[in-house]
């Protein structure tokens, strides 16, 4: 076929496709147009960056969870089918990568302790869900997500062994974290528009879960700080300081505790730059707000000081027995009581029923909690995770699951510390720090049980693991 005929046929097909897409949009059907648009964007990116399909898909999904958060997570690729972005990326990118590995006859990931423990977590959860799906059906598969999202860890490691792919995922992570403040500010300022106008089949495209927004802002203050180079630091470091102060003085305690924990770890490892810069900026902001509250008794400043003091007190008030007078923190005691009762309920039920293998996926972990906490909300309460990944592990998989997950968390902390002590690469510290920060946040909220927190966590952990493994190929020549 001559080039002229080939171009004519391609142009004719694209014209017919454009007409069909226009008709679909005119009738209010945007599913296939959106899918075709994503395919087109992926093809352009793959062509421009010389990347394979799985790399582009994983990078786009990662960025989508940062920018759209819970709204992006609710998108379904096909109407009536519970195939969400994370699941679609796992299926498409995973299948593509398996074909590549089969052709190359290569081992898919490094053989080390962290990979072995995460693989054991996957095997244990998969073996358990095989029994639970017969009883609970799709509910069991839904709860099993806390396990199968770990497959992204292995997928990311295999993809990131290629220098171009690794750089693309790094850029997607950085761009996503840079967009979080913009997207979250837009959601806070214009909620009516984003919830009612910017929607896909009635579901908002951008909808932030408060605790995850603060967790990503904290991660952004860490990652952007270490990836800024040269003149970029003139705008990046003040931005990081503003994000750090916002998280530290914000309403979400889990993200603040996680960020402070990573900062103290860096101090202990004698990596001074980030802690000194961020803590100095936060101290300056605190002094200014305190001075305004004392001198002029400005209502906002007084309210902010009282709120921060109450939130600090509430961290040690696990059973919610203290009283809080500030408008910003009056419900912190009840939040503590909420979590404490739920954690105790799950632990007691699991211990009495099946302490070794757990209650399984699909079991309602909230039933006993609701009866004790507030029986009148039993029909309205839909949450399924007890706001603690360790309690979730024990409730779903028993002592075996808790032991494996605790080992995974311990190895992550140990490797983060080793990276800080021995590695000269500051970008690697940021990746390990981000993983530790999200892990701390998952100890007090629903983070790793859903894709909004699980996808960034496992991808960041995979990138960090590859960076530290020493198994990377030499960088390609320009």
pLDDT tens for the chain, residues 1 to 478: 677 777 777 777 777 777 777 776 676 665 566 666 666 666 666 666 677 888 888 998 999 999 988 888 888 766 666 678 888 888 888 887 877 777 766 666 677 899 999 999 999 999 999 899 988 888 898 899 999 999 999 999 988 888 888 999 999 999 999 999 999 999 988 888 888 888 777 778 888 887 899 999 999 999 999 998 888 889 999 999 999 998 988 778 888 889 999 999 999 999 999 999 998 988 888 777 767 766 666 665 666 666 666 566 666 555 555 565 655 555 655 677 788 888 999 999 999 999 999 999 998 888 877 777 776 665 666 677 888 999 999 999 999 999 999 999 999 999 999 999 988 878 889 999 999 999 999 998 889 998 999 999 999 999 999 876 554 444 344 3
CA torsion 273-165-154-136 (nearest 10°) is 110
Task: Please give the pLDDT value at position 337.
Answer: 78
| Nearest in space to 371 (alpha carbons), one of 348, 341, 392 | 341
Task: Please give the pLDDT value at position 10.
Answer: 72
**81: phi then psi, degrees, rounded to nearest 5:** -120, 125
CA torsion 392-394-396-397 (nearest 10°) is 140
Task: Please give the pLDDT value at position 472.
Answer: 44
Q: How far is CA 338 from the centre of its chain?
A: 23
Task: Please give the pLDDT value at position 422.
Answer: 87
**54: phi then psi, degrees, rounded to nearest 5:** -65, -35
Q: How far is Cα 247 from Cα 250, in angstroms, rounded to an integer? A: 5
Task: Please give the pLDDT value at position 324.
Answer: 58
| Residues 154/386, Cβ–Cβ less than 8 Å | no
Cα(first)–Cα(last) distance of the chain, in Å? 35
Structural domain boundaries of the chain? 50-469
Q: How far is Cα 305 from Cα 309, in angstroms, rounded to an integer? A: 6
Quickly list DSSP for 253-299.
Answer: HHHHHHHHHHHHHHHHTT--HHHHHHHHHHHHHHHHHHHHHHHT--H
Task: Please give the pLDDT value at position 319.
Answer: 57
Looking at 269-388, list the stretches that DSSP marks H as alpha helix, in order from N- to C-terminal side.
Answer: 273-295, 299-315, 332-353, 367-373
207 to each of 9, 74, 149, 236, 438, how far by Cα in Å? Answer: 42, 9, 21, 26, 19
| Nearest in space to 51 (alpha carbons), one of 7, 88, 91, 96 | 96
């Amino acid at each position: 076929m001559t080039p002229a005929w080939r171009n004519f046929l391609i142009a004719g097909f694209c014209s017919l496709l454009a007409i069909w897409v226009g008709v679909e949009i005119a009738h209010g059907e945007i599913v296939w147009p959106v899918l075709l648009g994503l395919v087109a964007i992926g093809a352009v990116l793959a062509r421009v960056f010389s990347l394979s399909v799985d790399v582009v898909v994983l990078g786009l999904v990662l960025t989508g969870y940062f920018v759209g958060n819970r709204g992006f997570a609710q998108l379904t690729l096909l109407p009536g089918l519970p195939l969400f972005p994370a699941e679609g990326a796992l299926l498409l990118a995973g299948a593509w990568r398996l074909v590549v590995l089969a052709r190359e006859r290569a081992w898919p990931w490094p053989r080390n302790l962290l990979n072995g423990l995460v693989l054991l977590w996957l095997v244990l959860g998969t073996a358990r869900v095989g029994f639970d799906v017969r009883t609970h059906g799709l509910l069991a598969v839904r709860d099993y997500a806390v396990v199968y999202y770990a497959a992204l860890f292995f997928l990311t490691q295999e993809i990131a062994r290629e220098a171009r792919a690794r750089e693309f995922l790094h850029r997607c992570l950085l761009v996503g974290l840079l967009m979080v403040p913009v997207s979250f500010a837009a959601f806070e300022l214009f909620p009516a528009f984003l919830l009612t106008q910017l929607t896909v089949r009635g579901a908002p495209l951008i909808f932030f879960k408060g605790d995850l927004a603060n967790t990503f802002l904290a991660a952004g203050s860490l990652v952007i700080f270490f990836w800024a180079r040269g003149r970029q630091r003139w705008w990046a470091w003040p931005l990081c300081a503003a994000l750090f102060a916002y998280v530290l003085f914000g309403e979400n305690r889990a993200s603040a505790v996680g960020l402070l924990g990573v900062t103290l770890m860096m101090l202990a490892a004698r990596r001074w730059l980030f802690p000194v810069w961020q803590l100095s900026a936060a101290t300056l902001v605190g002094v200014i707000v305190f001075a305004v509250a004392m001198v002029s008794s400005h209502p906002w400043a007084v309210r902010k000081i009282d709120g921060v003091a109450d939130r600090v007190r509430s961290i040690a008030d696990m059973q919610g027995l203290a009283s809080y007078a500030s408008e910003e923190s009056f419900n912190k005691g009840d939040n503590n009581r909420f979590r404490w009762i739920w954690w105790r309920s799950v632990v007691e039920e699991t211990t009495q029923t099946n302490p070794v293998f757990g209650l399984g996926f699909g079991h309602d972990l909230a039933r006993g909690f609701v009866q004790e906490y507030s029986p009148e909300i039993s029909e309205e309460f839909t949450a399924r995770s007890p706001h603690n990944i360790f309690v979730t592990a024990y409730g779903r998989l028993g002592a075996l699951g808790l032991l494996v997950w605790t080992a995974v968390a311990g190895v992550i902390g140990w490797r983060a510390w080793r990276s800080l002590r021995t590695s000269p690469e500051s970008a690697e510290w940021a990746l390990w720090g981000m993983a530790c920060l999200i892990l701390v946040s998952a100890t007090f909220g629903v983070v790793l049980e859903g894709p909004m927190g699980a996808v960034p966590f496992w991808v960041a952990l995979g990138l960090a693991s590859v960076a530290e493994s020493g198994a990377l190929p030499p960088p390609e020549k320009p």
